[in-house]
Chain A
Amino acid sequence: MIVKRLLRWLLFVSGINLLFVSLSFAVTIDDTFTISGFMTAGAAKVNNKDAVFAPDNELAAFYEIGHDLGFTSDSKIALQITSRISDKFSATTQFMGRKKKTVALDLAAEWAFITYHGFENSIIRTGRMRAPLFQFSDFQDVGYSYLWVRPPLDVLSLTPSSIFDGVDMIYSNSIGDSDYSYTFQPFIGTAPGTTDIVGVNDMMGFNISLEHEIFTLRFMALNSTINTQSLSPERISVLEGLQEAYSSMGYNDIAKGFDVEGQSGELYSLSFNVNWKDNVFLGEYAHRKTGDLYIPVTDAYFVTLARRIGKFTPHFTFARTKADHTFADKVAAVPDAYYTLLDSQSAGTGALIKKYGNYLPGAYIREQRTMILGVKYEPQVGYDIKLEFQRIIPENGSKGQFLEGDGVNDLTNIDYDGSPVNMVSICFDIVF
Chain B
Amino acid sequence: MNKIILQIIISLIVGCFSLVCSAEIAVVVHPSNTSADMSDNQVAQLFLAKKRSFPGGGKAIPISQAKGSPVRELFNKKVLKKSEGKLKAYWSKIVFTGKGSPPKTMENDAEVKKLVADNPNIIGYIDAKSVDDTVKVVLTIP
Contacts and interface: CB of A to CB of B under 8 A. Distances in A.
A94 B58 CA distance: 31
A122 interface: yes
Task: Report, nearest first, the 4 A-B pairs whose CB atoms are least far apart.
Answer: A138-B97, A179-B41, A181-B50, A92-B98
A139 B41 contact: no
Contacts of A111: 98
A115 interface: yes
A113 B99 CA distance: 11
Interface residues of A, number: 41
A36 B39 contact: no
B53 A121 contact: yes
A113 B52 contact: no
Interface stretch (B19-27, B80-88, B110-118): B80-88
A142 interface: yes
B135 to A, nearest CB: 22
B49 interface: yes
Contacts of A378: 85
Contact of B96 (A113, A142, A183, A381): A142
A230 interface: no
B55 to A, nearest CB: 6
- Most chain A CB within 10 A, of B52, B55, B59, is at B52
Chain A: interface secondary structure?
A: strand
Interface stretch (A4-12, A167-175, A234-242): A167-175
B92 A145 contact: yes
14 contacts: A38-B92, A82-B98, A82-B101, A94-B96, A113-B98, A115-B98, A120-B57, A130-B97, A138-B96, A144-B89, A173-B53, A174-B45, A174-B51, A181-B51
Contacts of A36: 95-96
A183 B97 CA distance: 15
A343 B105 CA distance: 75
Given A120-B53, A378-B85, A174 B93 contact: no
Contacts of B50: 172, 174, 181, 183, 211
A123 interface: yes
Contacts of A113: 98
B44 interface: yes
Given A113-B98, A125-B98, A431 B52 contact: no
- Most chain A CB within 10 A, of B49, B53, B55, B58, is at B53
What's the interface size class on B, roughly?
20 to 34
A213 B41 contact: yes
Interface of B: 39, 41-42, 44-45, 49-53, 55, 57-59, 81, 84-85, 88-89, 92-93, 95-101
Given A120-B59, A138-B97, A142-B93, 7 more contacts: A80-B95, A111-B98, A120-B57, A130-B97, A139-B92, A145-B89, A179-B41
A410 interface: no
A318 to B, nearest CB: 23
A129 interface: yes
Contacts of A181: 45, 50-51
Given A121-B51, A170-B99, A213-B44, A431 B88 contact: yes
A37 to B, nearest CB: 9
Nearest to B44: A213
A177 interface: yes
Contacts of A38: 92, 96
Contacts of A80: 95-96, 98
B52 A121 contact: yes
A348 to B, nearest CB: 52
B88 A129 contact: no
A276 B97 CA distance: 25
Contacts of B93: 138-139, 142, 145
Nearest to A179: B41
A36 B96 CA distance: 8
